[in-house]
Structure 1
Amino acid sequence: MVEEEAVVQACLTRNHQKMKIRSLVKRAFFITFGAVAMAFGLEGILIPNHIIDGGVTGVSMMLSHLTPIKLGVFLFLLNLPFFFLGYKQIGKTFAVSMLYGILTLAVSTFLMHDLAPVVHDEILAVVFGGLMLGFGVGLVIRNGGVLDGTETLAILIEKKLPFSVGEIIMIINVIIFSVAAFVYGLDNALYSMLTYYIAFKTIDIVVKGFEDMKSVYIISECNQIIAETIAQRLGRGVTYLRGEGSFTGDDKNIIFCVFTRLEEAKMKDIIREIDPSAFVIISDVGEVKGGRFKKRDIH
Structure 2
Amino acid sequence: MTRKRNKLVNIFKKYAFLLIGSILAAIALEIFLVPNDIVDGGITGISIMASHLTKLPLGAYIFTLNIPFLVLGYYQIGKTFVLSTLFSITTLSIGVSILQPVPGLTNDILLAAVFGGIILGIGVGLVVRYGGSLDGTEIVAIVVSKQTGFSVGEVVMFFNIFILSSAGLLFGWDRAMYSLIAYFVAFKVIDLTIQGLDESKAVMIVSEKPDEISSALLARLGRGVTFLEGKGGYSGQAKGVVYSVITRLEIAKLKSIIDEIDEDAFVTIHDVHDVIGGKLKKKAIH
Q: TM-score, normalised by structure 2?
A: 0.90
- C-alpha distance in 2, partners of 1:253/1:84? 50
Instruction: Return 5+ residue gaps in structure 2 as ranges.
Output: none
Number of aligned residues:
284
- C-alpha distance in 2, partners of 1:214/1:18? 31
SS of 1:194's equivalent?
A: helix
Q: In structure 1, what is the equivalent of residue 198 of structure 2?
A: 211
Q: In structure 2, what is the equivalent of residue 50 of structure 1?
A: 37
Letter matched to residue 281 of structure 1: T
Q: How does 1:221-232 map to 2 (within 5 A)?
A: 221-232=208-219
2:225 counterpart of 1:238: yes
2:267 counterpart of 1:257: no
Q: In structure 2, what is the equivalent of residue 8 of structure 1?
A: none
Within the candidate set 85, 102, 126, 1:139 is matched to 126
Letter matched to residue 159 of structure 1: K
Contact 1:260 1:295 in 2 (8 A): no
2:120 counterpart of 1:127: no
Q: CA RMSD in A?
A: 2.3
Contact 2:221 2:282 in 1 (8 A): no
- C-alpha distance in 1, partners of 2:79/2:273? 24
The Cα shift of 1:233 comes to 2.1
- C-alpha distance in 2, partners of 1:18/1:252? 45
Contact 2:222 2:282 in 1 (8 A): no
The Cα shift of 1:114 comes to 1.5
The Cα shift of 1:186 comes to 2.1
2:144 counterpart of 1:157: yes
Instruction: Return 5+ residue gaps in structure 1 as ranges.
Output: 1-11
Distance 1:232 1:72, change over 3 A: same
The Cα shift of 1:94 comes to 2.1
The Cα shift of 1:107 comes to 1.2
SS of 2:104's equivalent?
A: coil
Q: In structure 1, what is the equivalent of residue 70 of structure 2?
A: 83
Deviations 1:257-299 (A, max 9, x none): 21122222322333345545432211122332345642589xx
Q: In structure 2, what is the equivalent of residue 40 of structure 1?
A: 27
The Cα shift of 1:170 comes to 1.3
Deviations 1:187-215 (A, max 9, x none): 22122122112212222222222222211
Structure number with bigger Rg: 1
Distance 1:218 1:19, change over 3 A: closer
Distance 1:232 1:25, change over 3 A: closer
Letter matched to residue 189 of structure 2: T
Q: In structure 1, what is the equivalent of residue 182 of structure 2?
A: 195
Deviates more, 1:216-225 or 1:118-127: 216-225
Letter matched to residue 250 of structure 2: E
Q: In structure 1, what is the equivalent of residue 155 of structure 2?
A: 168
SS of 2:147's equivalent?
A: coil
Deviations 1:84-112 (A, max 9, x none): 11222222222222222111111111111
Deviations 1:192-245 (A, max 9, x none): 122112212222222222222211112245544433332222111223322222
Identical-pair percentage: 46
Distance 1:164 1:238, change over 3 A: same
Contact 1:240 1:253 in 2 (8 A): yes
- C-alpha distance in 2, partners of 1:135/1:114? 23
SS of 1:210's equivalent?
A: coil
Contact 1:34 1:138 in 2 (8 A): yes
SS of 1:159's equivalent?
A: helix
SS of 2:270's equivalent?
A: strand
